[in-house]
Amino acid sequence: MNTQIKKGLLEYCVLSQLQGGESYGYQMIKDISEYISISESTLYPILRRLEAEGLVQTRNVEHNNRIRRYFSLTEEGKMRLHDFVAERYELIRVIDFISGKEQKRDE
């Protein structure tokens, strides 16, 4: 998949994945990989960006004598995801247009 488009989609994949509850890096990679390929090094910049935008929040949890960072959705993150899902037909229409399915209406 085109890297630019994938980049944008991955953000929503992460948000969507966190809807089911908080999660940590490795778990997220495993879960998201089932749908779209995501590497260890691509996930982190996304998480950082989402955190900087206030869409996700983190907390440190002690696990086996080490720290694991858990990420969870903020209210803003939930809203962003909700908006994206609500507008998904726009995206589908654009894809239809690109693939030549969209009929010209006004003619």
Partner 1 sequence: MNKKIFLDRLKKNLKELKPAEIHKHLNYYEELFSDMIENGLSEAEATAKIGTPEKIAEEILENAAVEEFRERDTVGRVLTGMSIVFVVIAVLAKVCGWVLPMSFSTSSTGTSIGIIGGADGPTSSFVAGKVGEPVALYALAATMITMTIIYKIYRRNKK
In the complex, the smallest distance separating the C-beta of residue 94 from partner 1, rounded to whole angstroms, is 26
If the CB atoms of residues 12 and 24 are measured against partner 1, the closer one turns out to be 24
If the CB atoms of residues 2 and 41 are measured against partner 1, the closer one turns out to be 41
In the complex, the smallest distance separating the C-beta of residue 49 from partner 1, rounded to whole angstroms, is 9
On the CB side of 73, how many CA atoms lie within 13 Å of its CA?
19
The H or E element spanning position 69 is: strand 66-73
In the complex, the smallest distance separating the C-beta of residue 66 from partner 1, rounded to whole angstroms, is 6
The DSSP bridge partners found for residue 3 are none
Residues binding partner 1 (CB under 8 A): 24-27, 39-41, 44-45, 48, 64, 66-69
The DSSP bridge partners found for residue 59 are 70
Q: Closest Cα partner for 19 from 63, 78, 68, 97?
A: 78
In the complex, the smallest distance separating the C-beta of residue 41 from partner 1, rounded to whole angstroms, is 5
If the CB atoms of residues 7 and 78 are measured against partner 1, the closer one turns out to be 7
> Rounded CA gap, 49 and 71, in Å?
12
